[in-house]
Amino acid sequence: MRNLGRKGFSMLEMLTVLMIMGVLSSIAFSAMHGYFARTKLRNTVEIVAADIRQARWLARTRSAPCTIVFDAASQAYVISGEKSSLLPEGIRFGIDPTVSGKPSNPYSAPPQDGISFDSGSKKNFARFFPSGTVAPTGAVYITDGKETMAITVAITGRPKIWKSHGGHKWVSL
């Protein structure tokens, strides 16, 4: 038998490949971390918007008013005293530091607590009527500290989702 030479990789070659794999893995991990954070915020906003739609639907099907009360202090909201929901960890009512305007009025500052439903006598409270309308109209701002999204509710009671692009720029989703 002839020995055709050594087969395999040297230790230096193996270490080089492992270093390259480590660098690529860390880049992929940081990109995925940002993606998961954005997805968490978007999913939370979608759930809150769905719950607002549910409050409107309950008012119409029960032929009786349905309320939704937002509590910025506990980061929770309650639909007609029946369904209580808590925002996930790392997500809160409010705005990030780059936001300076509202979707409905770009040159007016949004509320610091992130909830603009205000009937004068009650704050952070919206009532849906059997006709599907809501009073008062308002918005809920939800942030992860880096990005802010908003859900506006017009007199028709239909929620609309917005994404902030900093300052007073908003894009409807």
Mean pLDDT of the chain, nearest integer: 90
Supply the CATH classification number for the domain 11-172. Answer: 3.55.40.10
Domain ranges of the chain: 11-172
Percent of the chain with pLDDT over 90: 66
Q: Any residues with CB less than 8 A from the CB of 38 and at least 6 apart, and which?
A: 147
User: What's the whole-model pTM score?
Assistant: 0.81
pLDDT, residue 78, reads 96
* Banded model confidence at residue 10, pLDDT cuts 50, 70, 90: confident
Convert the pLDDT of each residue in 113-124 to its tens digit.
Answer: 999 998 888 899
Sheet holding 83-86, edge to edge: 83-86, 76-79, 66-71, 125-128, 134-135
**CA nearest neighbour of 98 among 165, 47, 27, 46:** 165
| Average pLDDT, integer, range 45-53 | 97
Q: Identify whether the C-beta of residue 41 lies closer than 8 Å to the C-beta of residue 69.
A: no
Give the DSSP letter of residue 110. Answer: P
Which one-letter amino acid corresponds to residue 36? F
Cβ atoms < 10 Å from Cβ of 137: 18
